[in-house]
Amino acid sequence: MYGMSGGNEITFDVLRFGTVFGIASLMERTQDEYAMALEPSRVGVLGLSDFWHLIRKIPEVNARLVKVLGDRLRLTRGRMADIALKETPARLASLLLDLVQSEGVVTREGHYKIVSHYTHEQLAAMIGAKRVAVTRAFGTLQNSECVRLFRRQIYVVDLDALKRVAIAG
C-alpha cells in the first residue's frame, strides 16, 4: 500500500494474504491510497454497510481488525520515526528486521531468507529513500557481514549485527 505526492512515492505497508486495505472509507473520508500487487492476487470488495454488519455480527472479525490496525499503526509509526531520525543503512536494517519477522524463513545454513523478491526501488519506497541510497546501504550492510544478496534474494546472515545497525541509527 503506498501513497504518492508530487512524483514521490512511499510504501506504508506490504500486505500479506488475508488482510484488509483501503479502509479510509470506514471513516467516511476520501484519501488517496494505491495498492500494487507484487504477485498474482485476488482482491474482494466489501461494501461499507456489509462491513459494519459483519463487525456487529461476528466479534472475532472486530477483534482481528483491531489487531491488524494496531499492528499497522505500530509499524507505520516506527517507519516514520526511522525516516526522521536514522540514516539510510539503519532504516534499511530496521526494514529487513521487519521483513524477516513477517516473511523470513530459516535456511539450512541457519540464515534468514526474505521470501519475496524486492527491488532496491521498492525497498527505497518503504524507507523513504532513493534507490541509489538503498544500493549503497546494502553495500554497508554486506561489508558489516550481516546481510548477503544472492540471485535477487536477501539473506540475513547475522541477525544480531543487523539489530545493532538498526539501533545505531
For 8-34, the pLDDT digits (tens) are: 666 666 766 667 766 655 666 666 666
Same domain, yes or no: 76 and 14 = yes
When divided into structural domains, the chain yields a total of 2
Indicate if the pLDDT at residue 111 is higher than 60. yes
- Grid coordinates given for 35: 495498492
**Among 82, 106, 124, residue at a domain's last position:** 82
Which CATH number is 131's domain given?
1.10.10.10
Sheet holding 153-156, edge to edge: 104-106, 112-114, 153-156, 147-150
Residue where one domain finishes, among candidates 82, 110, 126: 82
Encode pLDDT of 54-104 as tens digits: 889 999 988 988 888 888 888 888 888 888 888 999 999 999 999 999 899
Q: pTM of the entire structure?
A: 0.73
Identify the domain containing residue 107 by its residue range.
87-168
pLDDT at res. 31 = 61
Q: Do residues 113 and 60 share a domain? A: no
Where does a domain end: 82, 97, 126? 82
- Please, are residues 169 and 87 in contact by the beta-carbon 8 Å criterion? yes
Do residues 78 and 93 share a domain?
no
Instruction: Report strand pairing: 153-156 vs 8-11.
Output: unpaired
> What is residue 147's three-state secondary structure?
strand
Please state the length of the chain. Answer: 169
CA atoms within 13 A on the CB side of 95: 30
